[in-house]
Structure 1
Amino acid sequence: MNFEPLKNTRIIDTALGKEVDKIPVWIMRQAGRYLPEFRELRSRFDFFTMCQTPQLAMEVTLMPIKRFDLDAAIIFSDILVIPQALGMDVELVSGRGMVFPQPLKSPMDIDKLLYPVDVKEKLNYVFEAITLTRHNLKGEVPLLGFSGAPWTLMCFMVEGETSSTKSKAKAWLYKYPEESKKLLDLLTDVIIDYLVGQIEAGAQMIQVFETLAEYLNKSLFDVYCYNYIKKISKCVRTKLKEKNIPEVPMVIFAKGAHYALKELSEAGYEVVSIDWTINPEEARKLMNSNITVQGNLDPCALYASSDTLREITKNMVQNFGKTRYIANLGHGIYPDMNPDNVKIFIDTVHSF
């Protein structure tokens, strides 16, 4: 597609275990509501219109890159575009968040999903946004693509809206184990094609978000998360090889899955991202030594005073060490964050 050569390769090199001049840093949800320029654009367009309009998605993706010295951009989109592609309605409702007017109430509802999915048709707007953004980045930093992982998507589809317990989705695992696997298999197949499509379109690194892993114990995680996480990495790489497309580094972020760090480091991903509840030194001991680690500043630390934030960030970097480390938050940035503190975080990481 004649993209310009990549000038900043820190995050790619670090993911592959190469030495870099500075620790790379990016922030989950870095293109979002904490930026005044995002809020101004959002005042004119609804959320999913922004996701589904390549020009707007490109503009939002570039906003933090223009403002901060970040080492990667991540395409502006949402993990719930996959349920939408399966025919489910999703609405962003003020005060409630993402809402499914007709969630999956029983396993019989699985048959109502529009499957199989032609991702080139249903999700082409994401691929167009990625290609457009790559051209407009002009090689300044790599562009990341992403997807929600199967269990996390299943939770949203069954719960219907934000839940503090995920009890409806977890009930499926106990009441309908085989039907749950059917749904997770279906989602996995779509995710694989979706990620391959993103890489074809120009994504230079991929992150898979198993954001709701924290609601499961180890035995449930092994059956209803881990097997699918492994399959995604393996099958994405197989399909890329079949298409003669070079592989890209892949990141797995399973929030709260501290009990499965060793397994996650053996799941076929170059990078394992960890949340803020895990001690970096302990995480490294649990994981394979050939894995790059990403994380793990508590997003709330960005509320601290400038001096305190610098000190917390320095301690984090020292605990991780400079080798095979990508600095990030332990989850997404909050919408009321002061962008000045984001700059302090980024500049402090780059001072090492």
Structure 2
Amino acid sequence: MLYGNMVSNDIAKPYPVYTDQDFPPLKNDLILRVARGESVERVPVWIMRQAGRYLPEFREVRAQHDFFTICRNPSLACLVTLQPIDRYAGLLDASIIFSDILVVPQAMGLEVQMLEKKGPHFPDPLVDPTHLARLKTKVDIETDLRYVLEAITLTRQKLDGRVPLFGFVGAPWTLMAYMIEGGGSKTLSKAKAWLVKWPEESKDLLQRITDVVVDFLVAQVKAGAQLLQVFDSWAGELSPSHFATFSLPYLKQIPLRVRAALRDVNPDLASTPMVVFARGAHYALESLSSPNIEYDIMSLDWTIDPVDARRRTGGRVTLQGNADPSLLYAPKETIKQEVATMLEKFGTKERYIANLGHGMYPDHDPEHLRAYLEAIRDESIKLNS
């Protein structure tokens, strides 16, 4: 038992369904209001990879535990999720559960290691379609990924209503690419070769991943997640036609199926805001913001002009982003100036969540992130006054 009667390690029992009434009252709903398109008094902000290696307190935990050990231990995952919320008290408007997109390939039967100074590594990746037989035909989320659900429930309690909690997954194409490449890649040549050599088998793999992703997101909301983000980190490595064939159809399935499943559980849960982040896929702004895709928020990388993104999405979605993470190497006065320009371009009263255009870097100075967060708070209040 991890937290009173809230979380149990008894994987034989179905995982409970939690609603807001099971957790401390939310004191800061700014990001939820923005997701619904409401006007707000200041711009909400959170940061991708806000819990992680740039924080000395995280490095202390990491020195004692393997990366995936932290992910699989709900108490440790909760601890590091809360580290930036504690450090930047009052400056962050959301938390995101400490986990990794590659827990899905692990649950599907592939070994994934996190190597020092190298990153994720699959000792035995998928080489050709005959290797699809190595994947599990059925992933039981409440057993295979129960540790994530427990971490979400525990963290939701420990947050004590300070800010909402994000759950997340990797998008099917991005996960497929990792499963074939065996780790990071500059060209994704192995994964992209599948698309042209074995297109039908690629679609089969993408659909199998999508099914697990949908079930996992539904389970995260039932465990207490209040927002969800889908990371298609390698979307921009696809041509527009390949994106339309091998990424977009599966990205479209996710919110439709997640909301339908949640409506069957509790209609209130079906309104959980969902974010799509298709990094580098400039050509997809219109398709990802179309009314029939049902994402509430689109996260933008730093190579997209906010004014152009606002025009092309037509106010149909809330925009999130999009400072270049390298800005955090700059002097604090430069950070403040760049934030002012960013906020002016996005607008500050509605349909905007401040963030970086990707995640924190390991060598970022935590105090420069503080300067970024303070600048967003102060400048947005000034612009909205």
Pairwise TM-score range, normalised by the shorter structure:
over 0.9
Letter in 1 for 2:80: V
Q: Secondary structure at the match of 1:164?
A: coil
Asked if the contact 1:31/1:60 (under 8 Å) is kept, the reply is yes
Given candidates 77, 86, 95, the residue that maps to 1:66 is 86
Q: Partner letter of residue 290 of structure 1?
A: R
1:268 Cα offset (Å): 1.2
SS in 2 for 1:251: strand
Q: Which residue of 2 aligns with 1:334?
A: 361
1:237 to partner: Cα distance: 0.3
The residue that corresponds to 1:12 in the other structure is: 32
Which residue does 2:171 correspond to in 1? 149
More displaced 10-residue stretch of structure 1: 228-237 or 282-291:
282-291
Question: Any residues of structure 2 matched to 1:1-352 within 5 Å, and which?
Answer: 1=18, 2-68=22-88, 69-245=91-267, 246-247=269-270, 248-266=272-290, 267-322=293-348, 323-351=350-378, 352=380
- Cα distance in 2 for partners of 1:239, 1:332 equals 30
Cα drift, residue 103 of structure 1: 0.1
Separation in structure 1 between the aligned mates of residue 189 and residue 316 of structure 2, nearest angstrom = 37
When the two structures are superposed, what TM-score results if normalisation uses the length of structure 2? 0.91
* DSSP 3-state at the match of 1:207: strand
The answer to whether the 8 Å contact 1:192/1:235 transfers is yes
Identity %: 52
Q: Deviations over 1:209-237 (max 9, x none)?
A: 00000100110000101010010010000
* 3-state SS of paired residue (2:150): helix
Q: Deviations over 1:100-158 (max 9, x none)?
A: 00000001111110121111110000000000000000101000000000000001000
Cα deviation 1:47-97 (Å, max 9, x = unaligned): 000000000000000000001110000000000000000110001112321
Tell me the SS of whatever aligns to 1:43. Answer: helix
Distance 1:339 1:94 in 2: 21
* Cα distance in 2, alignment partners of residues 260 and 237 from structure 1: 22
Q: 3-state SS of the aligned residue for 2:109?
A: coil
Structure 1: runs of 5 or more not aligned: none
C-alpha contact (below 8 Å) 1:327/1:349 kept by paired residues? yes
| In 1, Cα distance between equivalents of 2:182 and 2:375 | 40
5+ long unaligned stretches in structure 2: 1-17, 381-385
Q: Deviations over 1:230-282 (max 9, x none)?
A: 10010000000111252200000000011110001122100000100000000
Q: Distance in 2 between matches of 1:156 and 1:290?
A: 32
Distance 1:221 1:147 in 2: 18
- Within 1, Cα distance between the matches of 2:33 and 2:130? 46
CA RMSD of aligned residues (A): 0.7
Cα distance in structure 2, aligned partners of 1:180 and 1:56: 36
1: CA distance, partners of 2:117 / 2:262: 41
Aligned residues: 352
How many Å separate the matches in 2 of 1:238 and 1:50?
32
1:20 and 1:321 map into 2 onto residues whose CA distance is 11
1:347 counterpart letter in structure 2: E
* Aligned partners of 1:17 and 1:290 also within 8 Å: no
Task: Detail structure 1 runs of 4+ shifted over 6 Å in the superposition.
Answer: none
Write the distance in 1 (CA, Å) between the matches of 2:279 and 2:69: 28
The amino acid that maps onto 1:344 is: A
SS at match of 2:231: strand
Say whether the 8 Å CA contact 1:91–1:100 is kept in structure 2.
yes
SS in 1 for 2:368: helix
Aligned-residue offset at 1:22 = 1.2
Deviation of 1:288 after TM superposition, in Å, equals 3.1
